[in-house]
Chains A and B, each alone.
Chain A
Amino acid sequence: MKLAIPAALLLTLLTSVSARAETATEIVRKADLQMRGKSSYTETTMQIVRPDWTRTMSMKAWSKGADYSLVLVTAPARDKGSSSLKRVKEMWNWVPSIERVIKIAPSMLGQSWMGSDFTNDDLINQSSIVVDYTHILLREDTFDNAACWVIEATPKENAPVVWGKLVLWISQAEYHQRKIEYFDEYGELINTLSTLDVKEIGGRTLPTRMEMQPADKPQQKTVLIYHRAKFDFDLPTDFFSQSNMKGLRE
């Protein structure tokens, strides 16, 4: 009887602590959902910055869950009508000027998308961050004045991923991915993604400016700016079709 109360207290304490603390995986999943929603539509501008020149592109993108996405380039005129489609595990590029669909093989996922510092994997295949990795909470940190969890994501065996390791800074208050460090299979830092300018957009509060910085070329980066967004609206799966990929111009 004497032991029972402290024991019961300890037990409650323990269970409540474990019940309250989220696993790293859950944090990552929440952040992922926050970014994408069940379905999304965004209008963005991409600025490719290099020491000698800067190039700007405008895009529209649709996504449904983690399995379907379509990115359409709307400017400049040369690239207008180019698009990238993902259906579950397959991805394609459509290049109107040569009237050809190019299938993106998994080996091409690490290649640059349209000459930017974002890879095909980043832009078209983003969702695997939850499913294909295991997550460990490393520590807490701040980024851009926001308190963040720092989580290390390691690919699961046989997962079709490009990276050897990811380190994610996820803001505690709003579950935004604020910073991601991308490492290759040898543990070398390859890219760093920073997200800034948290604003209200499409009914959500999200960072609207993403900067991808290659580690070995400090003078170059790519900036992705969100202008408009819509979330969680009715978007049928057959919108994500090859004929739509070819047919959409704007």
Chain B
Amino acid sequence: MTPTFMVRLAWRNIWRQKRRTLLTASALAIAMLLALFTRSMQEGSYAHNLDNATRFYSGYLQLQNPEFSKNQSIDKLLPADDGFLKRVESIPGVTEIVPRLESFALGAAGDKSKGVLVMGVDPEREDGYSGLSHKVISGRYFKREDERAVLIGGGLAAYFNLQVGDEIALYGQGYHGTTAAGLFRIAGIVKFPHKQIDARIVYLPLKAAQDLYVTGEQVTAWVLHGRDARSIPQLEHDARQVMGDTIRVRDWADISPELAQQIALDRASGQFMILVLYGVVGFGLFATIVMMTLERQREFAVMLATGMPRGKLQWIAILETLFLALTGVVLGLLVTTPILVWFFYNPIPLSGELAITMEEMGFEPIIPFSLAPELFAGQIGIVLCLLALCACYPLLRIGRLRIMQAMKG
């Protein structure tokens, strides 16, 4: 009994009950379709959201002084001169680079005061990166040469009752113990997507921030962006290689853990639902296998009695299960792949309130799809596991088959 013979036998065996086999395979195929569709949509959204959400704050990666993250001290900085910038630009895979000087200060206007987050940014680079100028709802965006002009968050403006053209004082701790103190004029008011930051943020041109904190040509972080979310691990590795040990490379999940957690939670809930789905379909597969095994007890007994080695019979049963599952998988892939590819090139556009909210936050209002090979591999892997589990049944049944009893009834 050659292997080829066994294969042909197994294949023909499952088609002895055409409808049943097709039904089981279809159930598996539909499960795959639903699972892949959901996961592709999820992963597509995450990558899309990540690209947009990280531009406001963490970027894909940040280069920082190794001791900066301890307590965000203004004393722990990185150089911002041309030589350093050239090194950063040499990291392979980097698509965008923006400098940021981030610190705290006491903001005061009239007789009110409040702790504020000061963000020193390069006006042109920052606009290209996060579209800050589009967030201006009143007044104008600032320029590199502006020494005294600032942009403040809408929430902050409301708290102090400030309009464009009013003054705000910033007072805090500067570099090497100096006192950071300055009076600034409000050039524009911005709407920042996160309410809490909107109520505390003051944007300064980078040079003005460096003067305020007396840092000289230094920054708290260089923010880096890459091609897409999947290229981040490689980018991080390359950045570490190029920049060396004296510079700390942090990824977005490290800087904004709440974003990473949001995504992880959403992903986990999606995966859980899919596991439930596969569990249900798995039982369908199992039911078919059980039927196939039990209805042929006498047939098996005869084959064993006439000299077929038990092991070979078990192999045939395994192959039957395999072919059943494979049929389902192939069917599933045939149906799913064109659909996903179509959606990949034609993402679902959103409309209505959700779309407006997304656009305000700077996101394109679409649901993109992911064609990552890992998704497909993952689903096929799950099916193979189901297959392995189901195959245990005929394996055991045949293993324990008592020829005489089986022949009788």
Contact = CB atoms under 8 A, between A and B. Distances in A.
Interface of A: 48, 50, 52-53, 55, 78-79, 82, 95, 97-100, 102, 114-116
A55 B177 CA distance: 8
A222 to B, nearest CB: 10
A102 B181 CA distance: 12
A97 B182 contact: yes
Interface residues of B, number: 14
A115 B108 contact: no
A161 B176 CA distance: 29
Contacts of A52: 75, 176
B171 interface: yes
A142 B170 CA distance: 48
Contact of B169 (A53, A55, A100, A116): A100
Given A98-B169, A98-B170, A55 B178 contact: yes
A107 to B, nearest CB: 15
B177 A98 contact: no
Interface of B: 75, 108, 169-171, 173, 176-179, 181-183, 214
Contact of A115 (B169, B170, B179): B179
Give me the 6 closest cross-chain CB pairs, A-B, nearest first. A115-B177, A98-B169, A97-B181, A53-B176, A98-B181, A95-B181
A48 B177 contact: yes
B178 A95 contact: no
A52 B67 CA distance: 14
Grouping DSSP codes into helix (H, G, I), strand (E, B) and loop, the B interface class, with mixed when no group exceeds half, is strand
Contacts of B170: 98
Contact of B178 (A50, A78, A100): A78
A78 B169 contact: no
A190 B169 CA distance: 33
A95 B171 contact: yes
Most chain B CB within a 10 A radius of its CB, from A53, A97, A99, A102: A97
Given A82-B179, A98-B182, A115-B173, 5 more contacts: A52-B176, A78-B178, A98-B171, A99-B183, A115-B178
Contact of B183 (A53, A55, A98, A102): A98
Contact of A100 (B75, B108, B176, B214): B108
A55 B75 CA distance: 14
A99 B181 CA distance: 10
A82 B180 CA distance: 12
B147 to A, nearest CB: 13
Contacts of B182: 97-98
